[in-house]
Structure 1
C-alpha cells in the first residue's frame, strides 16, 4: 500500500482529541502557528465556521488542519480558507501538509467555493514557501502582520 492511500482526514472527537492536543511542531515553528488545543477551542466557539480534522497515516496521528467556511463574513479573506496547519515535527517533509491542505481545498470546492485563502506570518523558517509551492499567491493584503494568500479553485 503506498503512503498516499494510507493518509486520511478524520473528524476530531472523544477518541482522538488527546492525540490532537499532543501534536507539536518544531520549536522554531511555534512562532508561526497556534497550538492545536488553541485551535480546537476556536473550533468549539465557532462550530458553524471551523472545519477541524486530524491527519492520519494509517492509525497514526501525524497532523492537524482546520479550514474555515463562513460565506457571510464581511471580510472576504475569512469566507473560505485554511485557518491552521500543524504537522508533527518528526513527520514534516513527507507530504502530510500538502495532503491536509488539499483536503481543505476539496471541501471548499464541494461547498461551491471558487477561491480559498490562507494567512501566514512572514519570516525565516515560516510557512510562506510551502504555501507558494501549493499555488497560493500573496494578494497584497496583510492582516495583523500576516500575509494574505489566495488560490483559485477553478
Structure 2
C-alpha cells in the first residue's frame, strides 16, 4: 500500500468502481458496487460514494451517509456512518479497509460528528472481527439481518 485515497465517483471511474468484487464467500454479505451506486443515485442527499484508489489502481469502494435520522420516534438520534465497504478480493488484508474507515472517521469529525455507525451481517465470513479490531462496539440494535456497531471518535 503506497498512499491510498478516496475519489469521488465520476464518469471516468464509474466502470472501475463497478468492477470491484469481493471474495465469492462474501458476496451475500455486501451488495455489489453497482447496486450501491444505484442507491446513491436515487438518494444523493444521503449517500456519499467513493472509490478507494492506490496509485492508479482501484482497490475498493465505500459509501457513507451523513446526518440521517436513525429512528422515527427520536428526532435527536441523528447518525453518520459507513453504509457499504467493498474491498476487492485480491486486495483484502493490505490495510485498505482500515484506511477507508479512518478516512471516513476523519470526514465525520470534519462535519462535527463524534460517532461513526455501521451495520454488518454476522457470520463466519463476515466483517465483525475487522470492525471490532478497529474499535467498533455492538450497540444491541439490528437492521434487518444485520447488527449495528458504533465507533466513538
Q: Same fold (TM over 0.5)?
A: yes
The structure 1 segments of at least 4 consecutive aligned residues displaced by more than 4 Å after TM superposition are: none
- Equivalent residue pairs, number: 149
Over 3 Å counting, the alpha-carbon distance change for 1:149 and 1:77 in structure 2 is farther
CA contact (8 A) 2:52 2:61 kept: yes
Of Structure 1 and Structure 2, the greater helix share is in 1
Q: Does 1:64 align with 2:34?
A: no
TM-score by length of 2: 0.93
Q: Is the 8 A contact 1:77 1:117 kept in 2?
A: no
Deviations 1:61-116 (A, max 9, x none): 00001110134x14277720000000000000000001011111111000001111
Q: Which structure has more strand as a fraction of its residues?
A: 2
Q: Which runs of 5+ in 2 are unaligned?
A: none
Q: Is the CA contact (8 Å cut-off) linking 1:66 and 1:84 kept in structure 2? A: yes
1:89 counterpart residue number: 89
Corresponding residue of 1:42: 39
**2:67–2:78 Cα contact (<8 Å) kept:** yes
Check conservation: 2:79, 2:115, Cα contact below 8 A. Answer: no
Q: Root-mean-square deviation (CA), in Å?
A: 1.4
Match of residue 137 from structure 1: 137
CA distance in 2, matches of 1:100, 1:126: 17
